[in-house]
Structure 1
Amino acid sequence: MTKSILKAHLALLGANLIYGVNYIIAKGIMPDKIGPNAFVFIRLLCATPLFWILKTFVIKEPVATKDYFRLILCGFLGAAANQLLFFHGINLTSPVDASIIMTVVPVLVLVFSAILLHERITRNKLIGISLGGIGAIALVLYGNETSGTSSLLGNLFVFLNATSYALYLVIVKPLMKKYNAVTVVSWVFLFGFLFTFPVGINDFMHTNYEAFTTGTYLTVGFVVLFTTFFAYLFNIYSLSHVSPSVTSSYIYLQPLISFIMVTIYANFFNQNQYAQDVNIVKICSGILVILGVYMVSRKAKVKI
């Protein structure tokens, strides 16, 4: 393994550790300290300038006029809708449920690729889509039948978030081939912020910042700096050195990290609301989703 490949794997490990921890950290201050709309507004308000500052120093390239519509659509799907749906979802449901549902993204990417890019779906991939879909839908519906912090509406929001993000990944693909990834992400976040502005500005202005504790500011800082800025950069770096299938395989870590974090919070920090968030139904649903993603991601054997 070369040095650059090793760094790419470390970057992927770092990004998915951040994402896995983020499920419970972001949920921890909502809605008592800040609402989902205001949280997303702050996230984009702070992260967008960071990407543009980086773009100014790293890469200076013009964008063709014909590509702006695609960038606007990517901003809506990949930054605004994606983040608003996720934060509203995690505000209402269990971090465990959310992390499992999000692993269905590679399956949804395959579905949208088949519809929009006319990519061929093999028998194994069709089986994978079915397994992943059954696992995700079962978990979404189960959110209304279980105790703990799960909820049907929250799970539905997270599933719609996964759908929005998967569609974004398919639509942004031609732009990633044409431009530097930092250029694309900078424009995506700028347009995403513009879409979020009318939704989040009122909540942002009416948030009671006097009630913020040091922990609240640290949480917001973690989400802006690590979950948004560094995690996106880690993923961009890894994509330039390893294949997308390797990148997507690291998503399996997120439910595991979420399970560990929920267990720690429930048993060591007396957060009793998380005590019943892990059970056999969720574990089985997670296995189905992960098995489905494996079937979708597996390369077909070449016959000689």
Structure 2
Amino acid sequence: MSKRAWALLAAWSVALIYGVTFTIAKDVMPKHIDAFGFIFLRVGGSMLLFWLATLFVKTERIEKADFPRIMAASFFGVAFNMLTFFKGLSYTSPIMGAVLMVTTPMIVLVLSAIIMKERMENRKVVGILLGLAGTVTLILYGKAKINAPNATLGNFLVFVNAVSYGIYLIIVKKLMDKYNAFSFVKWIYFFGFLMVIPFGWREFQLVDWTMVPSSAYLKIGFVVIFSTFLTYLLNLLSMRELKPTTVAVFIYLQPFFASIFAIGLGKDELSWVKIGSAVLIFIGVYLVTQKRETIKEKIPNSK
């Protein structure tokens, strides 16, 4: 497989894991632990895993001039990103949270055009719009809004999270072009953990761990190991070969995988609306992930 194929496989894997995470995280909070306490546990556990991993992986020395960018990535990609998302998810329903998350590709497309001067190709714009249409339809025709104590605030926080994650994807791209992922991601989580301590420590202390069932421990472990540690590595791997807009469009697949997961558990059922939505999503992802042919590739060899 080519490097690009591996990068696309990594992006698909991230979408699959995140799609399952919506339901798993909602099962844990706020019933067993509040949102900020969960973030404290999630970021702290992942930070330990990243630093342990560097004992077995060769890393490079980070230049002092790059630490401000790393701290910015920590803020937008870890602290602010996770705090707003999990607090928002605790207030709103997973369905509405997923609706707002799919605005991320549009945000990244606009930010890339402004910050990175990336040209907005018509094919990408069409792909993003098709994916957006399919995803919104899929979610709106899913389960009714339930367990949403403050949907307005929750929806706002999830949208802020989508903007934050879009900024992170652009910030971290230059680090990926310069360093091995393990060289800087451990620092991203180190600074990110310092940033979430003031918000999550109190809620973490309030948890009576003797009352938490073993199933909740397993779900927390899944979020730390797979939804955080593994997905961040896979995202960085995909970004080494793909543009931020391409990586971001895979967010459209998360609600699709979430629906498949729910159907598998008997909590939802298949319908023609969902099938049609899935087709739109896959077409959208295909259009955005296809590389534009160069002029040389289009012109046949004259020899």
Shared fold by TM > 0.5?
yes
Query: What SS does structure 1 have at the residue aligned with 2:32?
Result: coil
CA-to-aligned-CA distance 1:270-300 (integer Å, 9 cap, x gap): xxxxx79x99999999998888777666655
Q: Is the 1:104–1:293 Cα contact (8 Å) retained in structure 2? A: no
2:210 corresponds to which residue?
Answer: 210
How do 1:149-188 residues align onto structure 2 when only pairs under 5 Å count? 149=147, 151-188=151-188
What letter corresponds to residue 154 of structure 1 in structure 2? G
Q: TM-score by structure 2 length?
A: 0.78
1:148 aligns with 2:146: yes
Q: CA deviation at 1:158?
A: 1.7
Q: Judge which range, 246-255 or 218-227, deviates more.
A: 246-255
Q: CA deviation at 1:216?
A: 1.2
Q: CA deviation at 1:68?
A: 1.1
Please tell me the root mean square deviation across aligned C-alpha atoms, in Å.
3.7
Query: What SS does structure 2 have at the residue aligned with 1:33?
Result: coil
Query: What SS does structure 2 have at the residue aligned with 1:57?
Result: coil
Aligned-residue sequence identity (percent) comes to: 39
Give the number of equivalent residue pairs.
291
Q: Is the 1:89–1:157 Cα contact (8 Å) retained in structure 2? A: yes
Q: Is the 1:20–1:254 Cα contact (8 Å) retained in structure 2? A: yes
Q: Judge which range, 30-39 or 155-164, deviates more.
A: 155-164
1:58 aligns with 2:57: yes
1:225 corresponds to which residue?
Answer: 225
CA-to-aligned-CA distance 1:43-90 (integer Å, 9 cap, x gap): 111110111121233123211111111111110110001111111122
Q: For 2:246 and 2:14, how far apart are their aligned partners in 1?
A: 13
Q: For 2:180 and 2:234, how far apart are their aligned partners in 1?
A: 14
> Is the alpha carbon distance of 1:290 and 1:195 closer, same or farther for their aligned partners in structure 2, counting shifts above 3 Å?
farther
> Is the alpha carbon distance of 1:26 and 1:13 closer, same or farther for their aligned partners in structure 2, counting shifts above 3 Å?
same
1:272 corresponds to which residue?
Answer: none
1:106 aligns with 2:105: yes
How do 1:100-139 residues align onto structure 2 when only pairs under 5 Å count? 100-122=99-121
> Is the alpha carbon distance of 1:235 and 1:62 closer, same or farther for their aligned partners in structure 2, counting shifts above 3 Å?
same
Q: Is the 1:107–1:296 Cα contact (8 Å) retained in structure 2? A: no
**Runs of 5+ in structure 1 lacking a partner?**
268-274
1:252 corresponds to which residue?
Answer: 252
Q: CA deviation at 1:20?
A: 0.9
1:192 corresponds to which residue?
Answer: 192
Q: For 2:276 and 2:146, how far apart are their aligned partners in 1?
A: 17
1:41 aligns with 2:14: no
CA-to-aligned-CA distance 1:7-58 (integer Å, 9 cap, x gap): 5555444332211110000000111110000000001111101111212331
**Runs of 5+ in structure 2 lacking a partner?**
none
Query: What SS does structure 2 have at the residue aligned with 1:190?
Result: helix
Q: Is the 1:96–1:258 Cα contact (8 Å) retained in structure 2? A: no
1:97 corresponds to which residue?
Answer: 96
Q: For 1:237 and 1:126, how far apart are their aligned partners in 2?
A: 24
> Is the alpha carbon distance of 1:285 and 1:72 closer, same or farther for their aligned partners in structure 2, counting shifts above 3 Å?
farther
Q: Is the 1:20–1:99 Cα contact (8 Å) retained in structure 2? A: no
CA-to-aligned-CA distance 1:188-238 (integer Å, 9 cap, x gap): 111110110111111111122222010111111111111111222233344
Query: What SS does structure 2 have at the residue aligned with 1:28?
Result: helix
